[in-house]
Amino acid sequence: MKRQSGSFMTIIFACAATLAALAIPLRAPLAQRQPIRLVAFGDSLSAGYGLPQEAAFPATLERALKARGHNVEVINAGVSGDTASAGLDRLDWSVPEGTDGVILELGANDMLRGLDPAVPRRAIDAIVQRLRARGIPVLLAGMVASRNLGAAYVQNFDSLYPEIAKKHGLVLYPFFLDGVAGERSLNLQDGIHPTAKGIEVIVGRILPTVETFLARLSPR
């Protein structure tokens, strides 16, 4: 009886070892299927002003990235009317824990209101620093000033994005509205906010930069 009991226990241990060995490779694919979580943090241009949510920038970008084989989730944290300072005020609750990267798009409303470029410069720099302190990388999407604001204003405003990007070693997309600004057919009647087609143009142009950004992110 003792010999049979010993043999039985040997079989049990062998089966347990086999199951444990099988369980190890099963956990890896589950981890790999966890999506990269991006937050599109900005103003009405990110929020999708005048558009259904499925046509807004975050949802359109997510579909485009998935079509190229990226396992991503893009969260819409855009608030219409936000200045860079307003974005800084809501940063901590708008960018949740578990975020892998932020696409930062702010400053257009500062420019439209004619605010001193030093104001959005300080706010955007502070946003970047606070996110970096949390270990969250940033892709900075730039804006350019309306040329009727004067050469000095244009120089001071336009330069804040590449200078902040250089200071912090960020991936920079120089102009969020590239290919859309000034194109009547790609904007709503206000001439400021992109149509669904305009958003598709923006996503098509920013996509390579976002992929460069994704390549920098560390897996969770």
Quickly count: other Cβ atoms within 10 Å of residue 14's Cβ.
10
Catalytic residue among 43, 46, 82, 193: 193
> Is the confidence at residue 97, as pLDDT, over 60?
yes
- Told to judge if 44 belongs to the known catalytic residues of this protein, a careful annotator would answer yes
- For residue 9, what pLDDT is reported? 45
| For range 204-209, the mean pLDDT | 98
- Told to judge if 80 belongs to the known catalytic residues of this protein, a careful annotator would answer no
Catalytic residue among 43, 44, 46, 85: 44
Beta-strand pair 36-42/101-105: parallel
> Which candidate, 89, 133, 21, 93, places its Cα nearest to that of 106?
89
- For residue 218, what pLDDT is reported? 74
Q: CATH fold of 35-216, please?
A: Rossmann fold (3.40.50)
> Which candidate, 158, 115, 139, 150, places its Cα nearest to that of 206?
139
Q: pTM to 2 decimals? A: 0.85
> Is the confidence at residue 31, as pLDDT, over 90?
no
User: How far, in Å, CA of 132 to CA of 6, rounded?
Assistant: 58
Question: 31-35, 65-69, 143-147, 212-216: lowest mean pLDDT where?
Answer: 31-35
- Told to judge if 89 belongs to the known catalytic residues of this protein, a careful annotator would answer no
Catalytic residue among 5, 185, 190, 218: 190
- For residue 15, what pLDDT is reported? 43
Q: Encoding tokens for residue 39?
A: 């937050």
Beta-strand pair 138-141/171-173: parallel
